[in-house]
Amino acid sequence: MAELDPGSAGTVTTIKWRFPTVHPEGHKYVAIAAISSLVCAFMAWETLAWPLLGVTIWVATFFRDPIRTVPQGENLIVAPADGLITLIQQVPPPREMAGDAGLGSEPMTRVSIFMSVFDVHINRTPIAGTIKSVVYVPGKFLNADLDKASEDNERQHILVERGDGSRVGFTQIAGLVARRIVPFVKNGDMVVAGQRIGLIRFGSRVDVYLPAGAAPRVSLGQRTISGETILGVIGDADAAKGRAL
């Protein structure tokens, strides 16, 4: 927002903090919790009204949708999720994104970001480009922090291709509490880096498959900010490597 600074001779650009909005996907859940709390309060059931008020606040917080500032640079790969980096491994790409039309068949670096129920759950695309595929796979609801969750849990694979043919794939994985993956994009959509592409309810994980020549710029135990933290740089194999397991 541009404002006139009384202490200067011209107009300066300032950024003001604002309370994060609640994503429309969460409105009905907030309403259900709030109405339940109000009904209990009206009935003088205080032992239920207060806990339900706390649930209402938590649900609103879970679906918060803060503004993010995406770093500039066409070769940057940004984090698609808020959370904790729990795994950095060399693995084959998922079969749903493998092959000549996908990520190939050679092992590639997978960076796993675990989202707790307290993290922002709006996911964003790591790069700009065209959505080449969105593949939903039903599955279990194991702890998303487990390595086998990438193969056993309910998940959704998204493949993005840049104009130069470079591709980045990432997978939304439902967790122990999560029960639904909500997509915002479909095949053929054009996206910009950091654009919202979906969310997962309620606690989950996102795996990012870095292309060849993009060493990870993050380390195990580091926290990421969706749309802001740089995971890697396409074509930059000399980046400081994260510790792989």
What DSSP line would sit under 134-167, residue for residue?
EEEE--B---TTSTTHHHHB-EEEEEEE-TTS-E
0.85 cut: is pTM over it? no
Tell me the pLDDT band of 6, cut-offs 50, 70 and 90. very low
Q: What is the amino acid identity at position 169?
A: G
Run of H or E including 122: strand 122-124
Q: Which of 35-39, 58-62, 189-193 has the highest mean pLDDT?
A: 189-193
Catalytic annotation on 204? yes
User: Which region, left, alpha or beta, applies to residue 73 given φ > 0 means left and ψ of -120 to 50 means alpha?
Assistant: left
Helix, strand, or coil here: 190? Answer: strand
Q: What is the mean pLDDT of residues 237-244?
A: 50
Give the pLDDT band of residue 237 (cuts 50, 70, 90): low
Q: Which two tokens stand for residue 85?
A: 């980096």
Q: What is the pLDDT of residue 75?
A: 92
Looking at this protein, which amino acid is placed at residue 184? F
Q: Which two tokens stand for residue 130?
A: 């065209």
The answer, yes or no, to whether residue 67 has pLDDT greater than 90, is: no
Query: Given this model, what pLDDT does residue 243 score?
Result: 44
Residue 34 pLDDT > 60: yes
| Candidates 8, 204, 219, 226; catalytic one | 204
Residue 143: pLDDT band by 50, 70, 90 thresholds?
A: low
Residue of 129 and 7 predicted with greater confidence: 129
The closest alpha carbon to 211, from 192, 195, 234, belongs to: 234
Cα 190 from chain centre: 18
In this prediction, residue 157 carries a pLDDT of 94
Closest residue by Cα to residue 97 from 219, 207, 216: 207
Q: Which residue has the tokens 């039903």?
A: 138
Q: Token digits for 76?
A: 């940057």
Task: Give the mean model confidence (pLDDT) for residues 9-22.
Answer: 60
Stretch among 57-61, 122-126, 215-219 having the lowest mean pLDDT? 57-61
Backbone angles phi, psi at 69, to 5 degrees: -105, 110
Distance from C-alpha of 2 to C-alpha of 14, rounded to nearest angstrom: 6
% of the chain surpassing 70 pLDDT? 80
